[in-house]
Amino acid sequence: MLPSTGIVKTLCQSLKEFPVQALVVDPVMVSTSGHTLAGPSILDSFREELLPMADIVTPNLKEASALLGGVPLETIADMRSAAKAIHDIGPRNVLVNGGDLPASLDAVDVFYDGNDFYEFHSSRIMTPNTHGTGCTLASTVAAELAKGSQMLSAVKVAKRYVEAVLSYSKNIAIGGGCQGPMDHLLKLKSNVERRPFDPCDLFLYAVTDSRMNKKWGRSIVDAVKAAIEGGASIIQLREKEVETGDFLEAAKACLKICRVHGVPLLINDRIDVALASDADGVHIGQSDMPAHVARALLGPDKIIGVSCKTPEHAQQAWIDGADYIGSGGVYPTNTKENNKTIGLDGLKTVCVSSKLPVVAIGGIGMSNAQAVMRLGVPNLKGVAVVSALFDRECVMTETRKLLEVLKESTKIAK
Ligand SMILES: Cc1ncc(COP(=O)(O)OP(=O)(O)O)c(N)n1
Ligand SMILES: Cc1nc(C(=O)O)sc1CCOP(=O)(O)O
Ligand SMILES: [Mg+2]
């Protein structure tokens, strides 16, 4: 926002003294909400000094009209003429932002580089959360140019980014103004719905298995529903044989159920599915993607669990930014081929060394869950179970019974 001729002149002088790699000028005069942000007195200095220095200028319809002496701009043809007329003032490129076109039309931006016109069409996202749309578009172009992109590709990325953010933010209700904010980092909505990881969530960890669900003729979603009804405190979708598209749909459907019940949903192995479904996190093993890479991909808020059989594994998981570790096989298991059994002693060794909370896994069920929990190491927070819940006729009943056994074990421990 450059509210006076003096400031525009000072800026232009400084730009001559300290040239920049690319100058993106968003000629802020009238906001999307219709507020006047700079008076007509600055127009001459914009036209005579600032715009000729610009690599790109990004006016909205009202600003383009003001720069051209008030011509009405109502159609895409008008926008093309305006882009050309503004280009004649001196900037190397012009992007006229058509967000203010009549609501019946697509959101169309017109880009002119002095030779060719490009129209960027996107469907109009009906939302009051448009505060900062123009600033976001211009800033994204600037960021892309700073990264070394060519102008056309920077403009394309910026347009796509604004569309993605508007779509993501469309239903967020924040603040009392007639225009709501855009959620640039795509964080606010999920934070509202998701609570932070609590190690106590590991108490009864239900891990699904596609073969078992198929054998008992139930869908992944039904299996998850039943485990939650039975009292599972965290769910992992471990679906090794399901096709990616089906896995993603199942993850989305399970997430809805899990969110309603405040139960975290993790995805085994598949970081892509976790990202695409916005699941609460992933569980990865020693031969999967390294946890520090998963953390970089998923960001700081998602839950990451890592399988650990040794203290060294546990130390690395902590360094890599994991939230918990799964340690086993405590007992032999038929669920995972060639799995090394570390026994209760191996589990205890890992727990004692681990700086992260631990969930025990492998061959655990009603008959031995108490023995596991009675190890009595403070960071052992629960048991993770596959076949004892899902290779059974009634998942809900088995989960409920195991929960009772686990609760008993905490009473005995006290
Ligand atoms: C809670 C929990 N602990 C350990 C594992 C095993 O993970 P991984 O070693 O990657 O083996 P697969 O499950 O991918 O076969 C787990 N899934 N969950
Ligand atoms: C998936 C998995 N991981 C293990 C490990 O030791 O890391 S044992 C295991 C299988 C657990 O299934 P069940 O409860 O049916 O024994
Ligand atoms: Mg794995």
Taking residue 13's Cβ as centre, other Cβ atoms within 10 Å add up to: 11
**Which-ligand-closest: CA of 239?**
1
Radius of gyration of the CA atoms of the chain, in A: 29
Rounded-to-integer distance, Cα 155 and Cα 24, Å:
11
Alpha helices by DSSP H, listed for 200-321, are: 210-215, 220-230, 244-261, 271-277, 291-298, 311-319
Element housing 283 (H / E) = strand 281-284
Active site residue 336: yes
From first to last of the 414 residues of the chain, give the pLDDT tens digit. Answer: 898 899 999 999 999 999 999 999 999 886 656 666 677 788 999 999 999 999 999 999 999 999 999 999 999 999 999 999 999 999 999 999 998 787 667 789 999 999 999 999 887 888 888 888 999 999 999 999 999 999 999 999 999 899 888 888 888 887 778 888 888 887 776 554 567 899 999 999 999 998 999 999 999 999 999 999 999 999 999 999 899 999 999 999 999 999 999 999 999 999 999 999 999 999 999 999 999 999 999 988 899 999 999 999 999 999 999 999 999 999 999 999 999 999 999 999 999 999 999 999 999 999 999 999 999 899 999 999 999 999 999 999 999 999 999 999 887 554
Residue 259 DSSP class: H
What's the 245 CA to ligand 2 centre distance in angstroms? 25
Active site residue 124: no
Element housing 268 (H / E) = strand 265-268
**Which-ligand-closest: CA of 326?**
1
Residue 401 DSSP class: H
Taking CB atoms and a 6 Å cutoff, what residues make up the pocket around ligand 1?
205, 207, 236, 238, 268-269, 283-285, 288, 305, 307, 326, 336, 359, 361, 384
What's the 70 CA to ligand 2 centre distance in angstroms? 71
Active site residue 238: yes
Rounded-to-integer distance, Cα 111 and Cα 137, Å:
13
What's the 309 CA to ligand 1 centre distance in angstroms? 11
> Any residues with CB less than 8 A from the CB of 185 and at least 6 apart, and which?
none
Q: What is the pTM of this model?
A: 0.66
Q: Determine which one of 194, 302, 309, 336 is catalytic.
A: 336
Contact 154, 141 (CB under 8 A): yes
Ligand 2 binding pocket includes 75 (Cβ within 6 Å): no
